[in-house]
Chains A and B, each alone.
Chain A
Amino acid sequence: MADPASILERAHREDYGRIVATLIRVLGGDFAAAEEVVQEAFTAALAQWPREGVPREPSAWLMRAARNKAVDRARRSARLDARVSELEAVARVEQALAPLPDGDAWPAAPDDSLRLLFTCCHPALSGEAQVALALRCLCGLTTEEIARAFLVSPATLAQRLVRAQRKIRAARIPYVVPEPEALAERTQGVLHTLYLVFSEGYAATEGPALLRVDLCEEALRLVRLARSLLPEAPEVASLRALMLLHHSRRRARFAEDGGLVLLDRQDRALWDREQVAEGLAELEAALALGARGAYTVQAAIAALHAQAPRAEDTDWAQIAALYGRLSVLTPGPVVALNQAAAVAMARGPEHGLALVDDLEASGRLADYHLLPAARADLLRRLGRRAEAVAAYRRALALVRTEPERRFLEARLREVSEA
């Protein structure tokens, strides 16, 4: 039999979020109190399970324990507050969460998880706070883990969480699933937050990659949860497809020395085929649900890459067309830059270079290292080596992450030595 500690650890990973989700509702929307009672339940398990054996239904045991702690808590605070009768306070908790006989599995409460998802991603909270709350409450990450992932001090992160919880209380952000007329808009907000988590993990904007919690994995867990809770929402399927297709390349994205390997030079045998297949199936599902938004287009681009057996088999014409579509849906310099790169592949580097030059002239990406990097690459392919060297140097002056720096240095060496 597996040891109690590892079973408990797995239960924490898998059940923390949904137990907290239910307890927040039971405790009238009090996030801090809910986290406290759930943590007490896990602490009790840590003491009891090694002594008395692991219960048959660990997650039901934990839920039951958390419920009992919530009842205790309601009783204690009613004693301190003359306006609330102890009986009423206890009854309120007991009614909000009916008990189950010992040993039974605890039924899933998808509505509670959905409430938690929408409340963590409420647009009245800052993006940073939304991400922190989601990782903390839904994924069960500790404050220290989240702080490390975002390269801020644990004190800063803790304060961010406290502020968010205070705002939820003071402004009375409701612990509900949004009304049908607001659901689509609010779902977009949820997706944006999950996308932030993923892209933070994917790009790792600064510093060494090794110290970071795998935010991509956490984002995938969250989007899978969202997908199961909102099965009819097309863009949720698209975002999940997008994440899966990008994540499938993770083993091929870095060389042994930690340097970044771009798509065209990646060893495609290292791509996670299972994840590719799952991503393609999700994209199919999204399209069948009528998805046509920005995440769908991005997923479609990733799918075209995933389906090319070799880099030279890539359908660049279609990718360039999809970037054209994306630049209508979400206009912006980064999309324009990607479009230029795709056009260069589809029609020749000189066509891409013309677009990159337009972008540079617009001044919209003045401090973005990928602009000179893209320019350098196109100049290199056109055989304009001196200009390419200058552009790589400019990109190196702007780059912020170590793997990208190594990548650019390697390219600069190639061009200088050729």
Chain B
Amino acid sequence: MKYMLLIYENEKVEEALSEAELQQVMTEHFTFAEAIQKSGNFISGEELAPTAASTTVRIRDGKRLTTDGPFAETREQLGGFYLVEARDLDEAIGMASRIPTARTGSIEVRPIREYIPPQD
């Protein structure tokens, strides 16, 4: 089963990190990604640009509304994700707790909905 591990953190926390600290976090991410690649759980993963670069689009009454910033202002922002394959929620939770950001922000473990193909 596929799970999305959504990485949330207060962007200000990351901005406040020193160059060396940032390097440390990146190294931990690489180590983690490499480990789950080796174990066959990794599907993909990306870091997102800060929400300052974000734009939200809605269509209302057929008209496009484009606004600056993320959909909702929250204390923690979505900063990246890993898409992983896991046996069950326990395995996915185990992986989520190895993401370095789990110590400073939060990781949401969200299952990918499985569609059963139509039968003929």
Contact = CB atoms under 8 A, between A and B. Distances in A.
Q: State whether these chains interact.
A: yes
Interface of A: 81-83, 122, 124, 170-174, 176, 178-179, 182
B88 A174 contact: yes
A171 B90 contact: no
Q: Which 4 A-B pairs rank lowest in CB-CB distance, beginning with the nearest?
A: A174-B88, A172-B88, A171-B89, A173-B89
A182 B88 CA distance: 15
Nearest to A168: B89
A176 B90 contact: yes
Interface of B: 1, 87-90, 93-94, 109, 111, 113, 119-120
Given A82-B119, A83-B119, A174 B90 contact: yes
Given A173-B90, A178-B90, 8 more contacts: A83-B119, A124-B93, A124-B109, A171-B89, A171-B109, A171-B111, A174-B87, A176-B88
B119 A174 contact: no
Contacts of A172: 1, 88-89, 111
A contacts with B: majority SS: loop
9 contacts: A81-B119, A82-B120, A83-B119, A124-B93, A170-B111, A173-B88, A174-B88, A174-B90, A182-B94
Contacts of A174: 87-90
A179 B88 CA distance: 13
Nearest to B88: A174
A83 B1 CA distance: 19
Contacts of B93: 124
Contacts of A178: 90
A124 B113 CA distance: 17
A170 B1 CA distance: 10
Contacts of B94: 182
Nearest to B91: A174
A171 B111 CA distance: 5
A83 B119 CA distance: 8
A182 B90 contact: yes
Nearest to B94: A182
A115 to B, nearest CB: 12
Nearest to A173: B89
A366 to B, nearest CB: 25
The residue among B87, B90, B119 with the most chain A CB atoms within 10 A of its own CB is B90
A59 to B, nearest CB: 30
B119 A124 contact: no
Contacts of B88: 172-174, 176
Nearest to A118: B90
Contacts of B119: 81-83
B5 to A, nearest CB: 13
Contacts of A124: 89, 93, 109
A125 to B, nearest CB: 10
A171 B88 CA distance: 8
Nearest to B117: A83
Nearest to A83: B119
Contacts of B113: 170
Contacts of A170: 111, 113
Contacts of B120: 82
B115 to A, nearest CB: 13
B69 to A, nearest CB: 30
A172 B2 CA distance: 10
A120 to B, nearest CB: 14
A286 to B, nearest CB: 28
Contacts of B87: 174
B116 to A, nearest CB: 9
